């Protein structure tokens, strides 16, 4: 049944979604380092790994928002093939807010990958964000 679903439900384009987390302005550097460490810890994974990690310097866009971006490839090796999702975690701070909103863009490296790959990538990032939410006080120290 799973193989049949993978044949039917395919992903051809990027999908952008809002993630259930806000990062306080004063915590952004710690959060970015936390996220990069989590990605790096999977660089040498056999079945599941992360490649091409790239931290893009923060910019200010035309709306005056601060935008920080982390690009990475999430790769799953299945017997005989490798499936790769190109991903970007985007942190956006509006001028009138004191926190960054978190967005995720996920795109199949090759059009037509099974939709389950998109789901696995989103779940992977979501787990990291939940780890941050759980460990945040310990990581930044009590306020």
5 pLDDT more than 70:
no
What mean pLDDT is predicted for residues 92-119?
Answer: 95
CATH fold of the domain at 2-140: Alpha-D-Glucose-1,6-Bisphosphate; Chain A, domain 4 (3.30.530)
> Sign of the CA dihedral 38, 40, 45, 49?
positive
pLDDT digits 0-9 by tens, 45-75: 888 999 999 999 999 999 999 999 999 999 9
Domain ranges of the chain: 2-140
pLDDT at 7: 62
DSSP letters spanning 46-82: SSEEEEEEEEEEEEE-TTS-EEEEEEEEEEEEETTEE
The residue with tokens 């807010």 is: 97
């Amino acid at each position: 049944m799973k193989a049949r679903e993978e044949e039917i439900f395919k992903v051809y384009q990027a999908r952008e979604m809002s993630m259930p987390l806000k990062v306080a302005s004063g915590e952004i550097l710690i959060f970015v380092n936390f996220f990069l460490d989590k990605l790096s810890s999977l660089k040498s994974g056999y079945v599941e790994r992360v490649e091409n990690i790239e931290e893009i310097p923060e910019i200010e866009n035309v709306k005056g928002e601060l935008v920080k971006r982390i690009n990475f490839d999430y790769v799953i090796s299945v017997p005989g093939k490798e499936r790769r999702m190109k991903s970007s975690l985007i942190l956006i701070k509006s001028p009138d807010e004191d926190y960054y909103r978190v967005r995720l863009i996920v795109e199949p490296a090759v059009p037509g990958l099974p939709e389950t790959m998109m789901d696995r990538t989103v779940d992977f990032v979501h787990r990291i964000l939940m780890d941050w939410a759980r460990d945040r006080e310990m990581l930044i120290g009590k306020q």
